[in-house]
């Protein structure tokens, strides 16, 4: 009898679990109080299902457990105070500015609360209501005050001490409504199955998924919140790793890859053709790649290197292998400028090694295209270098065995897949000059193996110095550029925009505080000196902080960036545009020099003509947008001026400055900014005392999200909503090693204990 009742209980439990699991896929409208009208508002946040509501995690929390009495609370501290509303008043000190002033009493004193531009609070709160207020305590006009704190009605004394979750919201959905919706979703899915294998959860001491979701939305303590977040961060990384690794393992099992000849005569001839000695890191990267190309499993390797470290030459050694293996290779570049640079760099080495190659771009003439197609299909062409033109249906390889994808983060998943599908289980080598820290690379590209090149060749020994310059002091950068031009050197000037148009379609360029010749007017001298002093003080403070403790800098930057007003870009009218800047420089600053203009929207022929002229030295000053970020190698360029530098991320600034300092000549980079924001100046100052792209990438990650650095189209970036690459590095490594072990044991996820994980992985692919 007991066994029968136990089986019935198990059956009931399984039935409830199945119902909870199925509820994940149901529409949000199946939840109480989610009307069709509210569902439309939720769609703006991409919340359409119960599961999406569960994974709509709070953006921050208010710890109402740190309760203080008004009399005990310290000025300048973050605290929570509970009391009764004594008075509430709506004031309008000037047109279009309203404020609600609320006086809150407890048994020790009075707290004045000021809420700007929220007149609707007059209807929400009333005299006699019990409220909880949490924020920074200040003192002015004889009272302790809080400005725009978190304030909430307290229904009963038992509510005191709660941790309040604050969600990303949209118009028409308040935090209270979002909390109701999420809690309804939690109630409906309570008891759902956990797709993480039990042995993994036990080994890593992880909460169940149900417990973790409840705790992250309604934590009882900050310790419980930390445990819940750890479980969900692990889950995000682990699922992504298993997804990437299992797909790669399945391809290798279904179709063996080409076993390349890696020490043949063509490779040896290629290495002899290189006119300089490879660095130790370059030789190690070559060995890593060759060893994996010689295996019957497909190469899936990422070569990461700082700007100017010689990744192209290493990639060329892999491309040379196909000539000895009697197969073919493709080198895909994101821009025609970069593709032509690769052809120029590698073409001479390939010719010396008797490796046939061709360049295919959007501007390639029709007759040349036809010839390339024929050579490629017949197998007479070993290496094809090109842009998106390689993805066209007309491009058919005889036997494609290797794809090299440069600046891979600039391509979408479908674009990379389109090239790989032109062969069978093709070896793939990804190149990235964006210095991706190892933990981020592990999180997003788990199926890859990695090689790093962090230092440039010895031949590039010139000193490169970076300066931060206030826009009012821009004449100093122009003076340095004039000196370089007098020495016969060349200059880059980078602008964030192509052109700014107004109603009459005329281009606008505001010069800020700089006179038309870049000289200081005598009456402005004191203002300029004050600006420089303020800038120097900010840079010194930031440099000291960065040098003393890098981790503290990350934390400080992450805190500062929460004030979005400090990080907001300036208005478009004050931002430099390349077209107006080129005209201004040619007529006013460098009238005796040839000034060129380059931007992405130019026809390919014009871009090629401008770059060739700059490479030959016919153009002395090149004004450009970020189209020169990669693929430009002009050794004679020694000065770069980046206007409105605060509008760029650190990784992008580092990429840009990599265009100078590519020879033994000393070079200088001037980061020009009109910003007065401490956050913006702290970011730029990191560039002045750090020339390591990987350290800067970590600093950039503390300020911005992964998608800002890698591009939002990257597979995996959108799935890491909770992951903080710096803070969660240990969890990432744990998830990475666990995923490797699981896929090695069950690549197709066919074991019964992996069935729920397999469903989650399929959801990730869809």
pLDDT, one tens digit per residue, over 406-463 is 987 778 778 888 999 999 889 999 998 776 777 777 777 777 888 988 877 665 567 8
Model confidence at 351: pLDDT above 60: yes
CA separation for the pair 420, 312 (Å, rounded): 20
What does the block give as tokens for 168? 């990303």
CB 360 within 8 A of CB 306: no
Closest by CA position to 425, among listed 292, 246, 289, 297? 297
Burial class (CB in 10 A: 0-12, 13-18, 19+), 98: middle
pLDDT reading at 135 higher than 50: yes
pLDDT, residue 570, reads 36
Contact partners, residue 347, CB within 8 Å, separation at least 6 = 357, 359
What pLDDT score was predicted for residue 499? 62
What does the pLDDT look like over 281-322, one tens digit per residue? 999 999 999 999 999 889 999 998 877 788 999 999 999 999
User: Do the Cβ atoms of 511 and 587 come closer than 8 Å?
Assistant: no
Query: Between residues 295 and 510, which one has the greater pLDDT?
Result: 295
Q: Is residue 573 classed as helix, strand or coil in its secondary structure?
A: helix
- Asked if residue 160 has pLDDT above 90, the reply is no
Average pLDDT score over residue span 390-412: 90
pLDDT-based confidence at residue 723 (cuts at 50, 70, 90): confident
Q: Angle CA(322)–CA(328)–CA(334) in degrees, nearest 5?
A: 110
Task: Over range 373-394, report the average pLDDT.
Answer: 94
Q: Can you give the pLDDT at residue 529?
A: 44
Average of pLDDT values for 336-347?
A: 89
**Whole-prediction pTM:** 0.67
Asked if the model's pLDDT at residue 528 lies above 50, the reply is no
- In the chain, % of residues over pLDDT 90: 46
Would you say residue 720 has pLDDT above 90? no
Least confident segment among 206-215, 325-334, 428-437: 428-437
Nearest in space to 630 (alpha carbons), one of 361, 481, 408, 317: 408
Q: What is the mean pLDDT of residues 186-210?
A: 93
- The lowest-confidence range among 194-203, 336-345, 365-374 is 336-345
Instruction: Judge whether residue 523 has pLDDT over 50.
Output: no
Q: Tokens 């308040």 appear where?
A: 174
Q: How far apart are CA 699 and CA 541, in angstroms?
A: 16
Residue 509 has pLDDT above 60, yes or no: no
Q: Tell me the pLDDT of the chain averaged across its residues.
A: 82
Helical pair 650-657 and 678-689, crossing angle rounded to 10 deg: 40
Per-residue model confidence (pLDDT) at position 516: 31
More confident residue, 626 or 523: 626
Q: Which of 189, 242, 211 lies closest to 25, judged by CA? A: 189
Indicate whether 701 pLDDT > 80. Answer: no
Asked whether 687 and 696 are in contact (CB, 8 A), the reply is yes
The answer to whether 378 and 309 have CB atoms below 8 angstroms apart is: no
Residue 660: closest CA among 695, 633, 685:
633
Given a cut of 90, whether residue 29 has pLDDT beyond it is yes
Instruction: Please indicate whether residue 117 or residue 517 has the higher confidence score (pLDDT).
Output: 117
At 703, the pLDDT band (50, 70, 90 cuts) reads low
The residue-averaged pLDDT of 133-139 equals 90
CA angle 585, 586, 587 (to 5 degrees): 95
pLDDT at 259 over 90: yes
Question: Which element (helix H / strand E) includes 197?
Answer: none
- The model's pLDDT over 41-88, given as tens digits with 9 standing for 90+, comes to 999 999 999 999 999 999 888 877 668 899 999 999 888 898 999 999
Q: What is the pLDDT of residues 593-614, one digit of tens each?
A: 999 999 888 887 888 889 889 9
User: What's the confidence (pLDDT) of residue 459?
Assistant: 54
722 vs 114 pLDDT, higher one? 114
**Residue whose tokens read 């744990």:** 734
Q: Give the pLDDT of residue 305.
A: 83
Other CB atoms within a 10 A radius of the CB of residue 547 amount to 11
């Amino acid at each position: 009898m007991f066994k029968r009742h136990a089986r019935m209980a198990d059956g009931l439990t399984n039935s409830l679990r199945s119902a909870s699991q199925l509820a994940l896929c149901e529409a949000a409208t199946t939840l109480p109080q989610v009307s069709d009208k509210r569902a439309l508002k939720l769609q703006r946040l991409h919340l359409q299902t119960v599961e999406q509501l569960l994974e709509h995690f709070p953006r921050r929390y208010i710890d109402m457990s740190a309760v203080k009495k008004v009399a005990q609370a310290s000025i300048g501290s973050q605290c929570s105070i509970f009391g009764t509303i004594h008075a509430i008043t709506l004031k309008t000190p000037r047109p279009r500015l309203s404020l609600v002033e609320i006086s809150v009493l407890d048994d020790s004193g009075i707290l004045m609360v000021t809420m700007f531009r929220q007149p609707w609070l007059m209807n929400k709160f009333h005299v006699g209501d019990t409220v909880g207020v949490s924020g920074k305590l200040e003192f002015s006009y004889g009272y302790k005050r809080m400005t725009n704190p978190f304030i909430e009605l307290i229904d009963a004394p038992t509510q005191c001490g709660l941790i309040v979750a604050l969600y990303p919201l949209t118009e028409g959905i308040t935090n209270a409504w979002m909390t109701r919706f999420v809690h309804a979703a939690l109630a409906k899915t309570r008891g759902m199955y956990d797709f993480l294998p039990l042995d993994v959860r036990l080994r890593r001491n992880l909460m169940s998924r149900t417990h973790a979701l409840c705790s992250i939305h309604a934590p009882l303590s900050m310790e419980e919140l930390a445990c819940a977040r750890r479980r969900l961060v692990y889950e995000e990384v682990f699922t992504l790793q298993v997804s990437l690794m299992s797909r790669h393992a399945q391809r290798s099992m279904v179709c063996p890859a080409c076993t390349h000849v890696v020490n043949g005569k063509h490779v040896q001839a290629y290495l002899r053709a290189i006119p300089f000695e490879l660095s130790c890191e370059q030789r190690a990267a070559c060995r890593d790649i060759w060893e994996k190309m010689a295996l019957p499993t497909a190469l899936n390797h990422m070569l990461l290197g700082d700007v100017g470290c010689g990744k192209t030459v290493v990639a060329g050694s892999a491309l040379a292998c196909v000539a000895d293996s009697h197969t073919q290779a493709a080198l895909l570049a994101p821009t025609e400028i970069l593709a032509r640079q690769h052809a120029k760099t590698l073409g001479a080495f390939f010719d010396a090694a008797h490796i046939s190659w061709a360049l295919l771009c959007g501007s390639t003439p029709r007759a040349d295209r036809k010839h390339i197609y024929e050579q490629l299909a017949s197998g007479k062409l070993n290496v094809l270098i090109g842009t998106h033109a390689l993805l066209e249906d007309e491009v058919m390889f005889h036997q494609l065995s290797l794809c090299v994808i440069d600046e891979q983060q600039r391509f979408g998943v479908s674009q990379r897949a389109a090239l790989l599908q032109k062969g069978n289980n093709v070896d793939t080598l990804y190149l990235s000059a964006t210095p991706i820290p190892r933990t981020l690379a592990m999180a997003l590209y788990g199926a890859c193996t990695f090689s790093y090149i962090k230092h440039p060749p010895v031949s590039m020994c010139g000193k490169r110095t970076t300066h931060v310059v206030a826009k009012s002091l821009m004449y100093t950068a122009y003076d340095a550029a004039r000196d370089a031009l007098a020495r016969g050197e060349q200059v880059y000037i980078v602008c964030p925009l192509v052109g700014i148009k107004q109603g009459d379609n005329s281009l606008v360029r505001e010069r800020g505080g700089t006179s038309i010749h870049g000289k200081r007017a005598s009456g402005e001298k004191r203002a300029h000196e004050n600006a420089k002093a303020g800038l120097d003080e900010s840079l010194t403070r930031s440099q000291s902080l960065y040098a003393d403790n890098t981790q503290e800098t990350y934390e400080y930057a992450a805190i500062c960036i929460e004030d979005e007003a400090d990080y907001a870009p300036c208005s478009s009218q004050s931002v430099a545009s390349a077209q107006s800047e080129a005209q201004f420089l040619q007529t006013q600053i460098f009238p005796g020099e040839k000034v060129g203009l380059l931007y992405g929207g130019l026809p390919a022929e014009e871009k090629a003509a401008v770059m060739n002229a700059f490479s030959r030295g016919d153009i002395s000053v090149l004004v450009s947008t970020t189209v020169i970020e990669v693929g430009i190698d002009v050794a004679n360029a020694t000065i770069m001026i980046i206007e409105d530098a605060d509008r760029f991320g650190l990784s992008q600034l580092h990429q840009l400055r990599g265009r100078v300092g590519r020879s033994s000549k000393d070079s200088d980079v001037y980061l020009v900014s009109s910003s007065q924001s401490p956050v913006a100046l702290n970011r730029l100052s990191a560039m002045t005392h750090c020339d390591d792209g990987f350290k800067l990438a970590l600093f950039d990650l503390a300020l911005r999200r992964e998608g800002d650095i890698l591009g939002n189209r990257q597979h995996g970036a959108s799935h890491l909503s909770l992951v903080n690459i710096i803070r969660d590095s240990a969890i990432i490594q744990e998830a990475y090693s666990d995923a490797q072990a699981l896929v090695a044991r069950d690549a197709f996820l066919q074991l019964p204990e992996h069935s729920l994980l397999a469903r989650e992985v399929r959801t990730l692919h869809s």
